[in-house]
Amino acid sequence: MDRDHDDPSAPSRLLERARGGDASAFGEIVAAHRLAVYRTAFRILGSHDAADEAAQETFVRAWRGLAGFRGGSALRTWLIRIAINVCRSAAAASAVTAGLDGVPEIEGGGDSPSAVLLRDESRARVRRAVLTLPPRQREVVALKAFSDMTYEEVAASMGLSVGAVKAHFHQAVANLRRRLTAGDGGA
């Protein structure tokens, strides 16, 4: 098992097994990419329930479309692109403006309760501000800033040029600065 982990051809063998109908191989693909897909959906939709549903739908669509995946991009990039499309459909079907309460955060211990509260309030303000961005800017921010994707990976996931991604990201950052500064109110 450790050999497969170190074997660079293991992902392609896993993909071929999944294409052949091996549900356990597809389960391994889901396990490897579930968090990235969920985080992308959450950053776009802003709700745990909506993101969880979008992640599930993403993998259902991926399973159905696996035979059509030719490997022109990384598997992760393909899955993120499906997730973005699922999120766009979900947002269009119901104007998602849900709050960001109850977002799971993984933190180290030891901080004072007041420091944790201030940090959580700041994060919540940023998340609310991100939700007010136009959809394309919100998607770029979700992928670039929150999913740590490169500009090239974001461009491939969204079907845009790298220049367009950079422009959307720059405009999103400017919009966020404006919104957060205007809404600061000394808090």
**Domain 1-97, CATH number (from 3.40.630.10, 3.30.930.10, 1.10.1740.10, 3.30.360.10):** 1.10.1740.10
pLDDT in single tens digits along all 187 residues of the chain? 444 445 556 678 888 898 888 899 999 999 999 999 999 999 888 889 999 999 999 999 999 999 888 877 789 989 999 999 998 888 766 543 333 334 444 444 556 666 666 676 777 788 788 888 998 998 888 888 877 788 998 898 888 999 999 999 999 989 888 888 876 533 3
Confidence (pLDDT) at 102: 40
C-alpha to C-alpha distance for 154 and 43, rounded to whole angstroms:
14
Could you say which architecture CATH assigns to the domain 110-187? Orthogonal Bundle (1.10)
Q: How much is the pTM? A: 0.60
Q: What angle do CA 151, 66, 45 make, to 5 degrees?
A: 50
Confidence (pLDDT) at 177: 87
Q: At what angle do helices 75-93 and 23-45 cross, to 10 degrees?
A: 50
Domain positions in the chain are 1-97, 110-187
What lies within 8 Å, CB to CB, of 37 at 6+ separation is 55, 58, 59, 79, 80, 83
- According to DSSP H, which parts of the chain are helical? 2-6, 10-19, 23-45, 48-65, 75-93, 113-131, 135-141, 151-158, 162-182
